[in-house]
Amino acid sequence: GQQVMQIPQYQHVQEGEDFTTYCNSSTTLSNIQWYKQRPGGHPVFLIQLVKSGEVKKQKRLTFQFGEAKKNSSLHITATQTTDVGTYFCARGGSDYKLSFGAGTTVTVRA
Amino acid sequence: DGGITQSPKYLFRKEGQNVTLSCEQNLNHDAMYWYRQDPGQGLRLIYYSQIVNDFQKGDIAEGYSVSREKKESFPLTVTSAQKNPTAFYLCASGSGTLFNYNEQFFGPGTRLTVL
């Protein structure tokens, strides 16, 4: 399927700092979803973005969908140890399918 | 977890053996999916099913087979033809329509190791 590229692959963050992870596509996205997978766990849905320029917040997490609908970002403020895990973006395609990016793995230094 | 169960959690098999991974959901979702996850990689789609008695190949279907005889169940068989079967297998279900995607709910996964 058509790919979404996530950068960076790894993010090492000092507790209390902010960071951003990005999801990019060469083609227009109809929608983008974000999932979080804790170490040893399974992916859990965080949010879906559909509209151009859309911004959604969940506590310390801010999700954005680009104006051209070719990229998305996840920004976390004041990182905590509970933020550890891998964050995946996924694009919706035909036939109910999602295509997942390779993920950004976040570690936190206390 | 989240209405989707997978069993077993850990599975060991000898090279050359077929093995079947179980996936059951009680969320009344029409669509079900199987993904494979390898270290440092995202989720790759093996097979998916939009409705009972119908399923389609995903991106890496070679060496795998599935069935969808009941809405609640979507077992995956890893055959001896799969050259590198050691991986973490995740089952998911979802209720989206063709152009209105809803989230996918994942099971806890089965970690398969070929000895």
pLDDT higher than 50, residue A23: yes
Mind listing the pLDDT tens digit for each residue in B35-72? 999 987 889 999 999 899 999 999 999 999 999 999 99
Interface contact A95-B99, CB threshold 8 A: no
Taken as a whole, chain B contains a residue count of 115
Interface contact A88-B40, CB threshold 8 A: no
The band of B97, judged by pLDDT with boundaries at 50, 70 and 90, is low
Instruction: List the 74-103 stretch of A: residues with Cβ below 8 A of B.
Output: 88, 90, 92, 94-103
Mind listing the pLDDT tens digit for each residue in B14-38? 998 999 999 999 999 999 999 999 9
B102: its two tokens:
């809803």
Interface contact A96-B108, CB threshold 8 A: no
Mind listing the pLDDT tens digit for each residue in A33-89? 999 999 999 999 999 999 999 999 999 999 999 999 999 999 999 999 999 999 999
Please identify which residue in the block is written with the tokens 């999700």: A63
CB-CB neighbours of A5 under 10 Å:
13
Nearest residue to B93 via CA among B101, B105, B108:
B105
pLDDT at residue B95, rounded to an integer: 80
> Distance (Å) from the C-alpha of residue A84 to the closest C-alpha of chain B?
15
DSSP string for B37-79: E-TT--EEEEEEEEETTEEEE-TT-TTEEE--SBTTB--EEE-
The band of A97, judged by pLDDT with boundaries at 50, 70 and 90, is confident
> Distance (Å) from the C-alpha of residue B105 to the closest C-alpha of chain A?
7
Interface contact A97-B107, CB threshold 8 A: no
CA of A32: which chain B residue's CA is closest? Answer: B101
Taken as a whole, chain A contains a residue count of 110
